[in-house]
Structures are given as C-alpha cells and as structure tokens.
Amino acid sequence: MEKHKSLIPTEISEVFYRLHNELFILYMKWNSFKTLYCTSDDNIKLLDESAKGFFVMHGDIMRDNIMMSICVLTDPASSRVGREIRNNLTLKHVADIIPSKDTSLIDEVNQLFESAKSPWEPFRSHRNRRIGHYDLNTVLKKTDELLPSVSISDVDTALSLIANVLNAIETFYDNNKTAYHHGIYREGNAKELMDFLKRSADLEMYHNHKEFGDTLDEQ
C-alpha cells in the first residue's frame, strides 16, 4: 500500500508508518532466528559443524535484540530524561495521538493494549533485569528472582499483538490489513545461508568420497 493513497490522518501517519516499517524489520529478524535455530536439529547440527562458537554467540545476540525490540515498540509514549519529557516511537504514542473524534478506534486500541499487557510483560522483565541492566539477584540466579521463560509461541504472540494494534488503525482508516508476519525479503537471508552451508557440506562429503572412497572400497 502506497502512503499517498492512505486515509490515515497526517497527524499520526508519520509515526504509524515508521512503526509499520519497524515491525516488518522485527519480523524479518524473528523469521531469520527461527530459520537458523528453531527449524530442525539438522540445522543446529550444520551450524555447529560450520562455526559453533560464532553461531552460539550470534543466536544469543539475535534473541536479546528481538526481546529488546519488542520492549522498545511497546514502551510508554514518553520518558523522562533528566528534567525533560521526551516522546518515544511506540505503539502507545501513536495510540495517544489518534484524533479524539475517532472514539471507536481509540476504544478498540485501548482494549488491544489491555489484552497485551500480560503477554508483553516477560520480555520487559528480561530487558530490565538481564539485557538493559544486570540485576544482581537475577545474574546470581537467586531462586526467588528467576526470569520468566519465553517460548517461540510467546514471541509469536507478542509480535501478533503489536501487529493487531497497527492493523486496527489501518483497517479503521483504509479498510486494509498488512501481513507483517512475512517480514521483509532480502537477498542473502537466513534460508539462503542454510542452503549454502548445506551445499558446502554436501560438496565436502563428495570430495572426501572421491579422494578416499575408491581406496576404502577396495580394502
């Protein structure tokens, strides 16, 4: 959908479309993470055989970046920095600047936020106690300070709830929904990386057989 065809009011369109783009990027990261680390044991084995140390580090960085991004998009509309109040690029900010005349949309978005509070909370706990800060009791793994577990389905749910807010706005003004879960396609994506590593492993196996196979077969 082109911007100039949209009926989203100008007072919220700039913030809306930036959030729209940020969610596409976040889904691209999440889809890449799932392709690399959540698809199959064969994929994990291939990554381990290729460069285990790097991919363990990369997986941790991607996981924390995705958690942080979920928190950033669902943070309050503004934050105090010293004596100054600064606006944030968040769902809550775009919700707060919806024109007051569009009461039904405001009510719908508020209901969506209310239903999303609980699913978003585990990510905020990780951001506040492990990623953004090293909470001492959390780092030392005190039994009463353990972090909540976060599953693949938890991330899927958290992202879909973000998409629901943006799609509520887009549907209200343009009668259209965006399929954010597809993410953004870019050359050299995670699937292409896995295909390359698989081809490389197959080629190495082929050369090893060509070099040693006939000799071994004769013994």
Tally of domains in the chain: 2
- pTM score: 0.87
Q: 52 is in which domain, residue-wise?
A: 9-185
**139 and 153 fall within a common domain:** yes
Residue 155 within a domain: yes
Residue 144 within a domain: yes
**166 and 195 fall within a common domain:** no
Sequential pLDDT tens for the chain (219 residues): 444 589 999 999 999 999 999 999 999 999 999 999 999 999 999 999 999 999 999 999 999 999 999 999 999 999 988 899 999 999 999 999 999 999 999 999 999 999 999 999 999 999 999 999 999 988 888 867 789 999 999 999 999 999 999 999 999 999 999 999 999 888 889 999 999 998 887 777 666 666 656 544 444
**40 and 101 fall within a common domain:** yes
| Residue-level pLDDT at 2 | 47
| 3-class SS of residue 215 | helix
Structure token pair of residue 137: 């009791």
Q: What angle do CA 111, 73, 82 make, to 5 degrees?
A: 110
57/111 Cα distance (integer angstroms): 38
Residue 3 within a domain: no
| Residue-level pLDDT at 192 | 92
**151 and 209 fall within a common domain:** no
**57 and 138 fall within a common domain:** yes
Residue 4 within a domain: no
**215 and 161 fall within a common domain:** no
Residue 161 within a domain: yes
Structure token pair of residue 166: 């943006």
